[in-house]
Amino acid sequence: MKLLILGGGFGGLRLARLLNNKPGIDITIIDRFNYHQFQPLFYQVATAALDASNISFPLRKAFHNSKNVRIRMAEIERIDTVTKQVITNEDSYSYDYLVIATGASTNFFGNKNLEQHAFPMKSTVEALQLRHKLIQNFEDALHTNDATELQRLMNIVVVGGGPTGVELSGAIAEMKKYVLPKDYPELDFSKMNIYLLEAAGKTLAAMSEQSSNNSLTYLQRLGVTVKINALLQDYDGENVTLKDGTLIPSKLVIWAAGIKGNIPAGIDPSLVARGNRIKVDAFNFVQGMNNVFAIGDIAYMEEEAFPNGHPQVAPVAIQQATLLAKNLLHLRQGKIAQPFRYNDKGAMATVGRNLAVVDVPKPKLHFGGFFAWLIWMGLHLMLILGVKNRFFVFTNWLYNYVTYDQSLRLIFKEFYRKDEVNN
């Protein structure tokens, strides 16, 4: 069986590891990066709490002792389902079975100004770029004598009140409280404003009412200005314009308000569902195909408990990959495949030091504050790949907790300019 996996994220990597060294299966993973990225901690890279290498793991290192897994770094150009080939910028790869696990990227909803001026955070490179821009703004603030320009440089706007927006806003607020005044004693940080804009009526809308209320309380305690029912209309790099006409001057807007699936060319448009996701059946087969699967963020599967598709989170990708590995082995043995049912084990988000929220659906439980924060840290630490990475992440967290400081506020010019990075 020649198995081709597109993407080395949570789903693709999990699938390859479960089928590693299984006889009769030849696996190739294609990804534009040569490393796995631990997306839940991108915000800590962006706020100088962790180094990028702490949350990135070389794909090839995961398969040092593998006899059947090979890695290819390339950009996917299109899929040809007739000839059973994937064409990349480097080469073409044939397959018996194809697994699309290309994940999701930032959705700007067609707003070209936002796409040009706002900063997304869906990759390690983008997290680094955001970190450099964040710090550079304060460096620039030291050189301006214009009060309006100074305010623009010291205002930070985060758009999107989901876990990413909440965690990022809290982390920046803690930088404002504990770190930045020491780094820049010449600046008056009472003038620094952190805005969190949420178009819906509450933060963490996908979680319980308690978690939503707790997160709002925690953010306000940290000094974040939370604006709910606030729909961003435009951003020109200087001013944020809300739908109600409100203007917020800011040189830094962080976009955490939407994602869309990374669908390779060659997929029939009729198979594309809301959010740019590929329609799949209960076995993760792309609808109408018997040798192409889609898993994770890219897959749209309707289930009784999830009529609008599963949440685009790591546990879904991991569970789908786990079952798909079993089903592929069953396929080789002539056994019946099992349909996928998502086991929702809960949701969580951290807001800041000693502040987090955790929801457990069965039994229905809610935790907030310090205990929830410990649960959040423990789970994320377990999910990070590599003993070395876990050690460095834990060491950094311990250092930050004791010293109230981060030690990674470095500006690398090659990452600073957004257009240079994207090109």
Active site residues: 167
Determine how many CB atoms are found less than 10 A away from the CB of residue 380. Answer: 19
Q: What are the structure tokens assigned to 50, written together?
A: 């962790």
Q: Are strands 277-279 and 272-273 parallel, antiparallel or unpaired?
A: antiparallel
List, in order, residues 6 or more apart from 414 with CB less than 8 Å away: 420
Measured CA to CA, the distance from residue 316 to residue 14 in angstroms comes to 12
Q: How many CB atoms lie within 10 A of CB 208?
A: 19
* Contact residues for 386 (Cβ-Cβ < 8 A; gap 6+): 57, 61
Cα 315 to chain centroid distance, Å, stands at: 13
For 20, counting Cβ atoms within 10 Å of its Cβ (0-12 exposed, 13-18 middle, 19+ buried), the class is middle
What are the backbone angles phi and psi of residue 86, rounded to the nearest 5°? -115, 125
Counted residue by residue, the chain has a size of 423
What is the Cβ-side half-sphere exposure of residue 36, based on CA atoms within 13 angstroms? Answer: 27
